[in-house]
Chains A and B, each alone.
Chain A
Amino acid sequence: MPITGLSRTHSANATVTDSAAGGTALACGIKTNNGTVGMNPDGVAYQSILEAAKEEGMKTGLVVTSTISHATPASFASHVKSRGSEAEIASQLLANKVNVMFGGGKQCWLPKSAEGSKREDERNLIEEAKSQGYLWVNDSNELAKATGDYVLGLFQMDALTTFSPEPSLPQMTEAALRILTEKNKESLFKDKFKINTKALKRDKGFFMMIEGSQIDWACHGNNADNCIKQALLFDQAVKAAIDFALEDKNTLVIVTADHETGGLVINGGNEKGENIDVKWTSGGHSGTPVPVYAFGPGAEKFSGVMDNTEISQKIAKLIGVKEFPKIKKND
């Protein structure tokens, strides 16, 4: 990717952030305490860049390999004091009407009485989603054929396994890109002279957050092999996004992280990449700045050293949001 930057990742109350505070910084453009999702340290909810994009008429998507209610995706479409409130987060994700949601975590969408449910009530969010117009997809075959304005695909009770036959991160990314843009490709002209106003209204583009969630988990376990596997899956998802952007010519792709994990350093190895000597300095996160890569219109705004809160602020300016960050209005 042509543009490279570095992002500082500290949270409001710690040098080393967690994914809730890191995700909130990336999503809402504000610092908050570790553990808090989509709110400032005083518990005031802030609008996320996904919500701002939606307000601008853009479609929205979340694609992850964790549960869809895990801290990072949660930061983009929910507001809770504790990242552990995943059942509440799932309810808010649905209420937010994110167009496309792919990942794991059925356990927080099924009623308490269902086997393996993590809910404390009898709400069946999957049935509620269907009744609100979502297409429900349960496996790779259904994902490949999925179409429509709203699509929900949760492929495991817990996080994804990242093994076949469940859909991979790049497959989910490609499907989400197709679904989020298919209506935009319909002709802007009903005939030679009449503008198709419906298509014109729809053509506002989209905002999507894609997370290779399990890179972090592999690094918590200091598992280099799994770290490489998860990073390669993420790399393929990035490729899908870049291929789309190359063809579309009007899509900005930003690649970054909410934090580093494991304090991974490479101590040696030969020029062929053999005998790599990997050392971990921690089983937790670190405060090391993380890279930011950008491609597409506006990419140049993401070079140099920046705070993680600036990333969504820059995106907001690029898509024409007048005020960001801003306190979220009650719906």
Chain B
Amino acid sequence: MTDIKINVDATFGTEVKVGDIIEVGQRLGVMPGCGEPVVCDKKGLVREIIFDHEEHRFVIVIKS
């Protein structure tokens, strides 16, 4: 079991919440800077969502 960290643009928020079980290919939010969708490439549990004010993004921590 490892933690993976995925960044999404804070402007549009996240499409998952802490405690969600994520399936492969599930949309998590949009990519900082370009608005393209961010999807998860592994199955896992959303352990934490951190707001990074400096980069204005959310860091989604997934236990995979």
Contact = CB atoms under 8 A, between A and B. Distances in A.
Contacts of B54: 67, 158-159
A34 B13 contact: no
Interface residues on B, range: 10 to 19
Interface in B10-64: 10-14, 33, 35, 49, 51, 53-56, 58
Contacts of A16: 11-12
Interface in A281-309: 282-285
Given A13-B35, A18-B56, A285 B11 contact: yes
Nearest to A220: B51
Given A13-B35, A35-B33, A283-B58, A159 B13 contact: no
Contacts, number: 48
Contacts of B53: 66, 159, 214, 217, 220
Interface residues of A, number: 24
A159 B11 CA distance: 19
Contacts of B35: 13-14, 34
A84 interface: yes
> Which of B9, B14, B54 neighbours the largest number of chain A CB atoms within 10 Å of its CB?
B54
A56 B6 CA distance: 47
A313 interface: no
B2 to A, nearest CB: 25
Nearest to A33: B35
A109 to B, nearest CB: 15
Contact of A284 (B11, B33, B55): B11
A84 B33 contact: yes
A285 B49 CA distance: 16
Interface of B: 9-14, 33, 35, 49, 51, 53-56, 58
20 contacts: A13-B35, A14-B35, A16-B11, A18-B11, A18-B56, A34-B35, A66-B53, A158-B54, A217-B53, A220-B51, A220-B53, A220-B58, A221-B51, A283-B10, A283-B58, A284-B10, A284-B13, A284-B14, A285-B10, A285-B12
